Amino acid sequence: MTTPGQAQQGHRYLWCGVDEVLALDSGQRVRVAVINSGQWLGPEYVVDAADLTPLPMRYYHGELPR
């Protein structure tokens, strides 16, 4: 379950409306890795969870995680 203002490790997010990222940690300030077009993980950044927008997850059948 994702709490508002917190990211969940292993979930995909849109970072500032631009880059698709994978959360590497859970919490309010987390490490994320950019997911590039080849489905490889790119550079890592530390970001505020408030700047992340949840993306649909395959194992939630295309739904947003709660």
Tell me the pLDDT tens digit for each residue of 32-63.
999 987 678 899 999 999 999 998 876 655 56
From the CB of residue 29, how many other CB atoms can be counted at a distance below 10 Å? 12
| pLDDT tens profile 1-44 | 556 689 999 999 999 888 899 999 999 999 999 998 767 889 99
SS (H, E, C) 1-66: CCCCCCECCCCEEEECCCEEEEECCCECEEEEEEECCCCCEEEEEEEEHHHEEECCCHHHCCCCCC
